[in-house]
Structure 1
Amino acid sequence: MSGSEHIRSWYAASAPAFPRQPALAGTQRADVCILGAGITGLSTAIELARAGLSVIVLEAKRVAWGASGRSGGQAIFGFGCDQAKITQAVGLADSKRLFDWSLEGLDLIKTRCAEFGIDCDWRDGHAHVPIKPRHITELKAWQRDLADNFGYPLQWWEREQLQAVMPNERYLGALFDPRSGHLHPLKYTQGLAKAALALGVRIFEDSPVTALERGPTPRFKTAHGEVACDFAVLAGNAYVHGIAPELDAKIMPVGTYIGATAPLGEALARDLIRNDMAVADVNWALDYFRLSADHRLLFGGRASYSTLPPPDLAGTLRRRMTRVFPRLAGIEMEYVWGGYVDISLSRAPHWGRLGQNIYYAQGFSGHGIAATGLAGRILAEAIRGQAGRLDAFARIPHRDFPGGRLLRTPLLVAAMAWFKLRDALF
């Protein structure tokens, strides 16, 4: 397998082969050039191509090589931070608008699957689950805020109701949302790429961007070519640095990891999670899990803030899994993989523009399956002259990570160590 192929994962093993696209060579011209063939970049491309613009997408590796093709696959309302934090930053009126748009991001997944015939194993339902009494208090406060201020009702399940759906002694209840859900992220992103190609978008793989030349006609440069365009879009997130240094300081790459068991058989799998929902606990260092279409348990967690993968990753994930599902003791992880997501300091989305013709969306903070599609639509609107929604996101204030390039990772590791200790003790 070459360095530009997908990492070994259950997603890569279970998705259909995607035809390799050519590498960029020579000088090309487009109305819009997009860096990154993940959900953000492809969503932007689809919207712009439909509007009649010529679009080029540059991808350093393969389509969906980054988080879009290897994430936990959980599509959840809202953004990476609690909505209350956005309310505090921009006021309730704008916060309501942003929250409603996050629901549009969820609906957009289902719309695009239907319109483009994307079979990505979508399943309805997501639950946030408490482990400790303080988690119940936090979840119920969140439920009240969403119902009272945003008109979004969630279902509170007492422990007995949860156990009827997911027999389990670890969790004390659940905050359930029937509108959120989960999918196969690589299949979904490849489906978007096929749709973009059908609309006339040109995608160049194996074409890492080495520089962005700014000006009235921005130019993306690669080792073997360049693209001149009227508008540039930066959608590489955690896997891009140095192209726009002022954006780099606003995000940090965080490693997140997931494993897939061998097939459990339909009977056992359906008895673990009887309604096929996705689940995430509410610890700072959280566990999240769901069933696959072929009856595996996909179990994620163990984030790394040092950018170094944890030792004995398979063993760690297996131990965490059996703490949730003791009956899976002895079940091995057939696949274990990881990758980076980009987090902002506040965990709020960081979307906007640089100057008049360079647009970006980053800071999805592990909450990107639905929000990235929304970001693409909103970036495309702004490029076409309707910037009201992008301006609303751009009003969310963002600070640089403290410590600069040398110290920000050690400082974040120290802070995360405290939060993990808090998970364990309180």
Structure 2
Amino acid sequence: MTTPSHTTSYYAASANDKSLRASLNEDITADVCVIGAGYTGMSSALHLAEQGFKVVVLEANRIGFGASGRNGGQIVHSYSRDIDFIEKHYGKHTGTEMGKMAFEGGRIIRRLVDQYNIKCDLKEGGIFAACNSKQLHEMEQKKALWEAHGHNQLEMLSEDSIQNHVGSSRYKGGLLDKSGGHFHPLNLVLGEAAALENLGGVIYEDSAVTRVQEGDKAVIFTDKGSVTADFVVVAGNAYLGGLIPKLEQKAMPCGTQVITTAPLTDAQQKELLPQGNCVEDCNYLLDYFRLSGDGRLIYGGGVTYGAREPDKIESLIVPNMLKTFPQLKGVKVDFAWTGNFLLTLMRLPQFGRIGSNIYYAQGYSGHGVTSSHLAGKVLADAIQGQAERYDIFAGLPQYPFPGGRALRIPYTAMGAWYYTLRDKLGI
């Protein structure tokens, strides 16, 4: 029998808790069974356990095995489509209500870190860096939009002032979000898992779900056991596979690549990111970077559609890193990995119910860190009978990709090529 393990990431190598939980090998009962031990699953489980629910979590691999333990570790607010797009396409009421929730995910993360004393190197401040004048104007519009929805911790950065935050000549300015931030993503979800267990929740690893039987009491089967539960939360996201065919048709797994350098000197760290902020640029296929707690540069970007594993991650990301920071030429890369996120056609999250008691949330389209924590709270509220906010999300249309499974990858790649060309031309 092979013991499940994390990908060969910096996060896995520096995880606070490397212990393996038992797998499920019996038939048990619970109030709620959560499928997937990532951010959506842990946030749902933890919010429910705080209200006294008996919660069991089934994870096919390890806690945080998927995007939750591999991502860039940045607190970025709102959704992959911003509030003005939502209001324009789905109505003022939907836009207003989703606007009220757009900045809640970051607050949930900070509340959990503080309340449960989670050690995850949380640091404050994030920057959207503009590569051209068009993007800088868009950041001015974002600032006005977010302030209209009550978010007032924003500051525009000129081409000169961004140099105080990012030691690169690549940017024309940017937007500083003082309520943004960054952290060690795997240690966050591991800390959430420990908090859940302290509240009586149980997590089984190496326990892939093979079938979900609908009914007044749902039955969730693994190879060696089962959970009979009043409610089910489906939180597998890009790692759900074909377990729920209805959900597989609505979204597409996509990969993003990340590298981590060897530890940098204090002088190098101060030169690259003097204030310690995390950064993402404003391109469609964006780059994102930050310093780790032990002084490494974590740099990510790129997309592979269909979640295939690229052959040489370093060859994809190092040129981008050197374009931003040419002073790092020759620096050693200690870690390189990829992770999958789930893309939807409209780039908005997909929430819904299957029958009366199976809930799902997926498809954050690159904005999963904060949106998944919000989803967990909203899911937990819905299971407790307070479904108004959940139904706002569930009311968004969920379209399949045109052309079905065979054509969704080339169609999406063509769209990405178009927007990348626009980024390069600054139009």
TM over 0.5: yes
The answer for the alignment partner of 1:170 in structure 2 is 170
Aligned partner of 2:362 in structure 1 is 362
Q: CA–CA distance in 1 between the matches of 2:373 and 2:308?
A: 29
Q: Deviations over 1:297-340 (max 9, x none)?
A: 00000211142233432122111101001110111211001110
Question: Is the 2:83–2:98 contact (alpha carbons within 8 Å) kept by the matching residues of 1?
Answer: no
Partner AA of 2:229 in structure 1: C
Q: Distance in 2 between matches of 1:136 and 1:341?
A: 27
Matched residue type, 1:135 = Q
2:23 maps to a residue whose letter is A
Shift of 1:424: 2.7
Letter in 1 for 2:300: G
Aligned to 1:413, the other structure's residue is in SS state helix
Q: Which residues in structure 2 correspond to 1:275-314 (within 5 Å)?
A: 275-314=275-314
SS at match of 1:257: strand
Write the letter of the residue equivalent to 2:44: T
Q: How far did 1:173 drift? A: 0.1
State the AA in 2 paired with 1:4: P
Tell me how far 1:149 sits from its aligned partner: 5.0
- Structure 2 equivalent of residue 376 of structure 1: 376
Deviation by residue 1:126-172 (Cα, 9 ceiling, x = unmatched):
11111122212222222222223555462111011111222221000
For the Cα contact (< 8 Å) 1:59–1:208, is it kept in 2? yes
CA RMSD of aligned residues (A): 1.6
Evaluate the alpha carbon distance shift between residue 3 and residue 171 of structure 1 in structure 2; reply closer, same or farther with a 3 A threshold.
farther
Cα displacement (A) at 1:352: 2.2
Q: Distance in 2 between matches of 1:151 and 1:374?
A: 16
* In 2: Cα distance, 1:16 partner to 1:101 partner: 31
**Number of residue pairs matched?**
426
Query: Does structure 1 retain, via aligned residues, the 8 Å contact 2:99–2:149?
Result: no
Give the alignment of 1:64-143 within 5 angstroms.
64-143=64-143
Q: Offset of 1:414 from its aligned partner?
A: 2.3
List gaps (5 residues or longer) in structure 1. Answer: none
Pairwise mapping of residues 249-264 of structure 1 onto structure 2 (< 5 A)?
249-264=249-264
Residue 12 (str. 1) matches residue 16 (str. 2):
no
Partner Cα distance (2:235, 2:71) in 1: 16
* Shift in Å, 1:174: 0.9
- Given that 1:131 and 1:281 are in contact with CA atoms closer than 8 Å, whether structure 2 keeps it comes out as yes
**After the TM superposition, which residues 258-277 of structure 1 pair with which residues of structure 2 at under 5 Å, given as runs?**
258-277=258-277
SS across alignment from 2:102: helix
Residue 46 of structure 1, CA deviation: 1.2
Measured against aligned partners, the alpha-carbon deviations of 1:190-239 in whole angstroms (never above 9, x if no partner) come to 00000001111111100111111112111111111111111111000000
Tell me by how many angstroms 1:90 deviates.
3.1
8 Å Cα contact 2:153/2:179 also seen in 1: no
Give secondary structure in 2 for the equivalent of 1:71.
coil
Q: Report the AA paired with residue 188 of structure 1.
A: L
* CA contact 1:318–1:332 (8 Å) conserved in 2: no
Instruction: Give the distance between the partners of 1:149 and 1:214, measured in 2 at CA.
Output: 40
Q: Distance in 1 between matches of 2:196 and 2:99?
A: 27
1:24 deviates by 0.9
- Secondary structure, aligned partner of 1:195: helix
Q: 1:316, 1:167 → 2: CA distance?
A: 22
Q: After superposition, give the CA deviation of every residue in 1:31-59 in whole Å (9 maximum; x if it has no partner).
A: 11010001111111111112222111000
Partners of 2:242 and 2:35 in 1: CA distance: 13
- Give, in whole Å, the separation in 2 of the partners of 1:150 and 1:120: 28
Report if the CA contact (8 A) 2:76-2:126 is conserved. Answer: yes
Which residue of structure 1 aligns with residue 422 of structure 2?
422
Counterpart in the other structure of 1:234: 234
What CA distance in whole angstroms lies between the structure 1 residues aligned with 2:365 and 2:249? 15
User: Residue 401 of structure 1 aligns with which residue?
Assistant: 401
SS in 2 for 1:159: coil
Q: Tell me, in whole angstroms, the C-alpha distance in 2 between the residues paired with 1:316 and 1:90.
A: 37
Structure 1, residues 62-118: CA drift from partner, whole Å, max 9, x if none? 111111111011111111222222112333343233223232211111111111110
User: How does the TM-score come out when normalised to structure 2?
Assistant: 0.96
Following the alignment from structure 1 to structure 2, what is the Cα–Cα distance between the partners of residues 2 and 280?
Answer: 38
TM-score between both structures, scaled by the size of structure 1: 0.96
SS in 1 for 2:316: helix
Equivalent position SS for 2:160: helix
In structure 1, what is the Cα distance between the partners aligned to 2:13 and 2:99?
35
The residue number in structure 2 matching 1:32 is 32
Structure 1 residues 32 and 90, CA gap change in structure 2 (3 angstroms): same
* Percent of pairs with identical residues: 39
Quick one: which amino acid aligns to residue 376 of structure 1? G
Whether contact under 8 Å (1:86, 1:396) holds in the other structure is no
Q: What letter corresponds to residue 330 of structure 1 in structure 2?
A: G
Q: Are residues 151 and 193 of structure 1, via their aligned partners in 2, closer, same or farther at CA, if it must alter by over 3 Å?
A: closer
Structure 1 residues 278 and 405: alpha-carbon distance in aligned structure 2, compared to 1, 3 A threshold: same
